[in-house]
A and B are shown apart, each in its own frame.
Chain A
Amino acid sequence: MEVLYFAWVRERIGLPKETVDTQALTVMELVDELRAREERYALAFSDLSALRVAVDQDLADFDAPLKGAREVAFFPPMTGG
């Protein structure tokens, strides 16, 4: 699964994108797996209320299922316009 990071999430983790080998069934399970990896991940995912997630380029919730998902992205609330 491709995992993408944007804005300060990208900066905190230190890379824009990575391929993750995971059996996670939900976004939350994936977050827990990433948190357990290293301090920089734990820091980036310390406050989920400050994060948004997209599954296959559609905004989703943290309890969204990952079955069949190819791409998951984590980012702060958007500031377009």
Chain B
Amino acid sequence: MRIVVQKLPFDSGVELNAFTAKQSNMGAIVSFTGVVRDFPNGGLQYMDIEHYAGMTEKALEAIATDAMSRWDLGDVLVIHRYGMLTPQEPIMMVATASKHRKDAFEAADFLMDFLKSRAPFWKKEQTSASHEWVASKQDDEDALKRW
């Protein structure tokens, strides 16, 4: 299990290859990368991500440990950034390794649902004219009930 909270960009391809190379006898690797998305008509200058240093690492570890206990996983990777990000930059990624694809897919989906609303990150969208905190979505809260 590897949990990384960092300001710097990362290369999801390099991370995924390194994660894959580390596994032995895992038949399925699933990964998800979240990317900063611009507004439909453009204009997003930065996505500013604030986090609660200390609690962030604890919360991510707890979520990943929960995933390891619920599914048959060989390994889990979680990378999440904070700070000022520009459109197209990767925000975060998760990867799961399992003997079989069902566990790998479901665990990755579970990790994403919990990262959305149980990891202490807050996103703010900055344009040249304004800045606004991204509101949490009821859908994201409802998604937790699936598990």
Contact = CB atoms under 8 A, between A and B. Distances in A.
Indicate whether A and B interact: yes
Interface of A: 4, 6-8, 10, 54, 57-59, 73, 75-81
B112 to A, nearest CB: 6
A8 B141 CA distance: 20
Contact of B112 (A4, A54, A81): A81
Chain B at the A interface: SS class: mixed
A73 B34 CA distance: 27
A4 B4 CA distance: 23
B117 A78 contact: yes
Contact of B52 (A8, A54, A81): A54
Contact of B122 (A57, A58, A59, A79): A79
Interface of B: 34, 50, 52, 54-55, 58-59, 80, 91-92, 112, 115-124, 133-136, 141
A81 B92 contact: yes
Nearest to A54: B55
7 contacts: A7-B124, A54-B55, A75-B122, A76-B133, A79-B117, A79-B136, A81-B34
A78 B58 contact: no
Given A6-B52, A8-B133, A57-B58, A77 B120 contact: no
B112 A75 contact: no
Nearest to B62: A58
Contacts, number: 68
A78 B50 contact: no
B121 A79 contact: yes
Contact of A80 (B58, B115, B133, B141): B115
Contacts of B121: 78-81
Contact of B133 (A7, A58, A59, A73): A7
B119 A57 contact: no
A57 B136 contact: no
B146 to A, nearest CB: 15
A10 to B, nearest CB: 8
Contact of A7 (B54, B91, B122): B122
A67 B141 CA distance: 30
Contacts of B141: 77
B92 A57 contact: no
